[in-house]
Structure 1
Amino acid sequence: MAHEHADLHDPETDPLATYVLEPDDVRPLLAHVVAGPGHATTTSTAPFTGSPVAAVPLTSVDDLPEAARRARAAQRTWAARPVTERAAVLLRAHDLLLERQSDVLDLLQVETGKARTHAWDEVGDVANAARYYALRARRLLAPRTVRGLFPPFTSARVLRHPVGVVAVITPWNYPLSLGLGDALPALVAGNAVLLRADPQTALTLLWSAELLADAGLPDDLLQVVVGGPDVGMGLLEHVDHAGFTGSTRSGRVVAARAGELGVPVTLELGGKNAMYVAADVDVEAVAEGAVRACFGSAGQLCASVERIYVHEDVREAFVDAFVRRTAALRLGAGLDYRADMGSLVGPAQLARVVEHVEDAVGHGATVLVGAEQRPDLGPYFYEPTVLADVPDGARLHREETFGPVVAVYPVASDDEAVAAMNDSDLGLVAAVWTRSAARGAALAARVRAGAVAVNDTHQLIWGTVGAPVGGVGASGYGRRHGREGLWETTWTQTVVAQRGVHTGRGVGMRQLEALGSEVRASVLTRLLRAERALRLP
């Protein structure tokens, strides 16, 4: 974008001054929206101020067939290009993203209200993923040779093909990570992508489309559609695979419709993520990690920790350290790195947080710190909050809050902690803290979650881009990151070949059939026994 950092925010002005994007800044981005003539528009509001940001065209369901047609035409040519050429686009996107990060950091903050340090986490995440897939895709997508039925007379190869057109249905909370970040592996695998942007964070994804175009991605391979659930659901009728990130309730609706259409989907849904603090820890180190785990992006991420189980031997010391560090967090609205935590995204999210906390207190929970709105900072600010004594009957005990609120519970043993952590239908991520690496590994393996961090937070999980992440149970299925994330948007084809058939020298099913059924069965039985004796896989 053409603007400088100061065009969006002047540090010398009132931090609650209206943030305005000039038309000349927005106009080039709007060219990337899929929207027909006479389209409606939507105007998001800046969480820091409640003021309008920019009017963005809305995609209608009627626009989707033509977008899919263009995507399919572009995909056929793209898939025919060598993987190395596709990977080169990702490497250029990596470099441009880091070079232009100030622009997208501004957009992320203006649209989501998160602190700049948490906005940068998205930049770092996408750059990490771009590099990984660019450098690994050729090997991960290469044909694989497997043992044939009658070696050396038979051979078998497993090929990977792109599925075709992929829908990436992105939520508002992490538009860069969950939008551009999910599009990159699909693109390098040879697919085209229809990227559904939530209207609240459309500008960030339109900026991403411009970035990829500047990196050399051909036209129509990535198209941004802007709209609500109707557009997201409508995409399912025009694609070959869909990736959805959102609530468990919405994910089940997507899964049901995808099942009707026969479209495979990857779902990353809600989380009521748990952390266990064992008795042997350094409580100050764990308290610092707990703050990162609970209050990043004001708790508005599916991997945020909302339950902490603390061994009773260290409960008092840990709670004191955790509350002290939580109370010291700096809240603020500014396009700089001074704030430790930003704002909730809007009135609906604020209302949910307030309702969960008030309901918990009404059921007897104790507020250890926070539980206050901060209208002096902005309309949707809420203090990071730690609760104790939250009973089973409170909504906050089991439901995902998706805000800067965490409940602390005492436990008497490792076994009690694991049982409590697993007492949820959600299973996205978890964390275990202990001085013993062996103990941590053993406990992690017992936790029902798609990924578990030992002595760190979900940031370590997410940053380990070569390993798959995803949920179990009501937290979804399928994986992003790693080879599994790349393979989600491919299909496998097995090609087996028989040698020597036309020269009469081959040994295969044709020759065995000629021996007669009884002899064939005897020969194959001896073959199977020999392979077992030789331990051939």
Structure 2
Amino acid sequence: MPVLSAFTGTPLAALPVSLPADARTAVERAREVHPQWRAIPLTHRLTILRTLGRRLSSQRCGITPAVVHGCGLGPEDAAADHRIATRLVTAYARTADKHLREHRRHFWFRADTRHLSPRPTAPSAVVSYVDAARPLASLVEGALPAMACGSTVITRVDAATVVVALRTASLARKAGLPGRVWQFTAAPGPGEAAQLDAVLAEHADARAPQCCACDGTAATASASGLLVVRHDAAVPPAARAAVGACFARAGRHCAGTTIVAVHDDKWPGFLPAFQRATMRETARMAVHSAIPPPMAAWADAWADTAITAGARPVLGAPGQFAKSTRGTWEPLVLAAPSWRETPFGPRPAGRPPRGPVALVIRYTAWSDVLHLARYTNRHLGIFTRTKAAQLLPQFAALPASDIRLNAAPRSGLLPLQTLRGLG
């Protein structure tokens, strides 16, 4: 499997490809080593994780180039991903220590459950995945909590994320992680990845709780996030947060926002503020994150559909992403009036993509926001002074489950959510 630089196309390495039989073998090896790994005391497992966190923090210069050239993240986005991953390692170790000890104490002191094992029943072989838009964070999010609970992990990687994963695993080995506790299967393309995923789903015991998975294609990626600016919101912080939500990491992370809904009262002030904040961010960024070709084509096609339906470009040139050189694109901002005044139809110009394009929509009725939330993913940001207890129940039947007030949508799961998802 050739590993190429996402910016220059230069060959970086050649690594072996995993076949479906290799995936079955990895699961068998994971089950063989699981009893020994589970028998290791919790304190020792957490010590390994803490040591890995320190090594990951100190080896930034060795990890960041793999994130930049392998996954196509710009220098600032790569540094942010490394910073988030380092914090996650510490947070997982601290939360796992508290959560697992409380779990044992709960079962040990209850008279009617003394016959049960004091240890939580974590699965033996767990499968995790890596998102090229947040490689280190998703790698840590999928593997480390499962290993802290006593599970063994098989991580499926691709040509973009394999170098990052192997360098992180090397640091884990140096931190004291035994062999075969963390294994990898590598796929060169979407077809081979689908075969490996099918085998791993059939033979492994569980899938690690992770945030939205994405391989950069329109067929398998979930829709983008949504940002809402209500009538009682503060415009300057909302405009600054929208820039990062829409264009950070080329907008291709799972919390990347394509649709920004702005109340009619805030429309005159928000759109100019958003344009100015976007231009300042573009001038500050020396190198953007690269856009995968499938994602670029998806963003261009969706923008053309939105313009045909009535949206107007206010910043950037439509149709630029597929033609642009890696890391040299410009953000595209489209503006549209209310759905009730434009021929968008029942869906907002098709499924919104993940990519550096933002459609700012003016709305008057709150029902329009709930309509838009039907076509976005679980990540939602709302800028408002209204109490959460009044707003959150209205999204109960919609995809939005990760809702943040007065902040942009953010990728990832909380450490306690991950540990509880593992049982």
- 1:50 aligns to 2:1 (yes or no): no
Higher mean alpha-carbon deviation, 50-59 vs 403-412, is at 50-59
Cα deviations by residue, 1:164-222 (Å, 9 ceiling, x for unpaired) = 01111333322211123310000000011111002222111111111111111111110
- 1:60 aligns to 2:19 (yes or no): yes
Question: In the alignment, what sits opposite 1:408?
Answer: 360
Q: Tell me by how many angstroms 1:416 deviates.
A: 3.3
Quote the Cα distance in structure 2 between the aligned partners of 1:223 and 1:204.
14
Check the 8 A contact 1:298/1:343 in 2, yes or no. Answer: yes
Q: Residue 202 of structure 2: SS of its match in structure 1? A: coil
Name the Cα RMSD after superposition: 3.1
Q: What amino acid does structure 1 have at the position aligned with 2:55?
A: L
Matches within 5 A, 1:121-132: 121-132=80-91
Quote the Cα distance in structure 2 between the aligned partners of 1:46 and 1:455.
37
Question: In the alignment, what sits opposite 1:420?
Answer: 371
Judging changes above 3 Å, is the alpha-carbon distance between structure 1 residues 381 and 229 closer, same or farther for their aligned structure 2 residues?
farther
Matches within 5 A, 1:443-458: 443-447=391-395, 448=398, 449-458=400-409
Quote the Cα distance in structure 2 between the aligned partners of 1:123 and 1:374.
27
Q: Tell me by how many angstroms 1:395 deviates.
A: 7.6
- 1:307 aligns to 2:220 (yes or no): no
Q: Tell me by how many angstroms 1:412 deviates.
A: 1.8
Quote the Cα distance in structure 2 between the aligned partners of 1:129 and 1:450.
21
- 1:160 aligns to 2:112 (yes or no): no
Question: In the alignment, what sits opposite 1:527?
Answer: none
Q: Residue 135 of structure 1: SS of its match in structure 2? A: helix
Matches within 5 A, 1:7-406: 42-142=1-101, 143-145=104-106, 159-227=119-187, 228-243=193-208, 245-246=212-213, 270-330=222-282, 338-339=285-286, 341-345=288-292, 347-372=293-318, 373=320, 378-379=325-326, 381-389=328-336, 392-393=344-345, 397-406=349-358
Cα deviations by residue, 1:242-300 (Å, 9 ceiling, x for unpaired) = 247535999999xxxxxxxxxxxxxxx62332111122333222111110111110100
Which structure exhibits the higher relative contact order, with contacts defined as CA atoms closer than 8 Å and separated by 6 or more residues?
A: 2
Judging changes above 3 Å, is the alpha-carbon distance between structure 1 residues 179 and 338 closer, same or farther for their aligned structure 2 residues?
same
Check the 8 A contact 1:75/1:192 in 2, yes or no. Answer: yes
Q: What amino acid does structure 2 have at the position aligned with 1:206?
A: L
Judging changes above 3 Å, is the alpha-carbon distance between structure 1 residues 423 and 458 closer, same or farther for their aligned structure 2 residues?
closer
Quote the Cα distance in structure 2 between the aligned partners of 1:55 and 1:285.
46
Q: What amino acid does structure 1 have at the position aligned with 2:401?
A: G
Q: What amino acid does structure 1 have at the position aligned with 2:28?
A: R
Quote the Cα distance in structure 1 between the aligned partners of 2:121 and 2:142.
18
Check the 8 A contact 1:441/1:454 in 2, yes or no. Answer: no
Quote the Cα distance in structure 1 between the aligned partners of 2:374 and 2:36.
49
Cα deviations by residue, 1:43-78 (Å, 9 ceiling, x for unpaired) = 233232233332221111122233222222222111
Q: Residue 203 of structure 1: SS of its match in structure 2? A: helix
Check the 8 A contact 1:166/1:194 in 2, yes or no. Answer: yes
Picking from 421, 429, 433, the partner of 2:379 is 429
Cα deviations by residue, 1:91-121 (Å, 9 ceiling, x for unpaired) = 0111011101122111111112222222122
Matches within 5 A, 1:422-501: 422-424=373-375, 426-434=376-384, 436=385, 438-440=386-388, 442-447=390-395, 448=398, 449-459=400-410, 462=411, 480-490=413-423
Question: In the alignment, what sits opposite 2:339?
Answer: none
Check the 8 A contact 2:225/2:255 in 1, yes or no. Answer: yes
Q: Residue 53 of structure 1: SS of its match in structure 2? A: strand
Check the 8 A contact 1:300/1:403 in 2, yes or no. Answer: yes
Higher mean alpha-carbon deviation, 387-396 vs 480-489, is at 387-396
Is there any run of 5+ residues in structure 1 with no aligned partner, and where?
1-41, 254-268, 332-336, 463-468, 470-479, 491-537
Report which of the two structures shows the higher radius of gyration computed on alpha carbons.
1
Quote the Cα distance in structure 2 between the aligned partners of 1:230 and 1:378.
32
Q: What amino acid does structure 1 have at the position aligned with 2:249?
A: S
Q: Tell me by how many angstroms 1:442 deviates.
A: 2.7
Q: Aligned pair count?
A: 404
Check the 8 A contact 1:104/1:207 in 2, yes or no. Answer: yes
Q: Residue 281 of structure 2: SS of its match in structure 1? A: coil
Check the 8 A contact 1:273/1:303 in 2, yes or no. Answer: yes
Judging changes above 3 Å, is the alpha-carbon distance between structure 1 residues 361 and 83 closer, same or farther for their aligned structure 2 residues?
same
Quote the Cα distance in structure 2 between the aligned partners of 1:290 and 1:156.
53
Question: In the alignment, what sits opposite 1:8?
Answer: none
Q: Residue 187 of structure 1: SS of its match in structure 2? A: helix
Quote the Cα distance in structure 2 between the aligned partners of 1:375 and 1:443.
39
Check the 8 A contact 1:114/1:342 in 2, yes or no. Answer: yes
Check the 8 A contact 1:47/1:378 in 2, yes or no. Answer: no
Q: Residue 352 of structure 2: SS of its match in structure 1? A: coil
Quote the Cα distance in structure 1 between the aligned partners of 2:149 and 2:215.
28
Cα deviations by residue, 1:299-325 (Å, 9 ceiling, x for unpaired) = 001111111111111102100110122
Q: What amino acid does structure 1 have at the position aligned with 2:213?
A: G
Q: Tell me by how many angstroms 1:382 deviates.
A: 2.9
Quote the Cα distance in structure 1 between the aligned partners of 2:408 and 2:159.
30
Judging changes above 3 Å, is the alpha-carbon distance between structure 1 residues 152 and 408 closer, same or farther for their aligned structure 2 residues?
closer
Q: What amino acid does structure 1 have at the position aligned with 2:178?
A: P
Q: Tell me by how many angstroms 1:377 deviates.
A: 7.2
Check the 8 A contact 1:173/1:300 in 2, yes or no. Answer: yes
Quote the Cα distance in structure 1 between the aligned partners of 2:232 and 2:301.
36
The two structures have a TM-score, normalised by structure 2, of: 0.86
The two structures have a TM-score, normalised by structure 1, of: 0.68
Judging changes above 3 Å, is the alpha-carbon distance between structure 1 residues 311 and 217 closer, same or farther for their aligned structure 2 residues?
same
Higher mean alpha-carbon deviation, 235-244 vs 315-324, is at 235-244
Structure 1 or 2: more helix by fraction? 2
Q: What amino acid does structure 2 have at the position aligned with 1:52?
A: P
Identity %: 25
Higher mean alpha-carbon deviation, 77-86 vs 355-364, is at 355-364
Q: What amino acid does structure 2 have at the position aligned with 1:453?
A: R
Quote the Cα distance in structure 2 between the aligned partners of 1:214 and 1:391.
59
Is there any run of 5+ residues in structure 2 with no aligned partner, and where?
188-192, 337-341
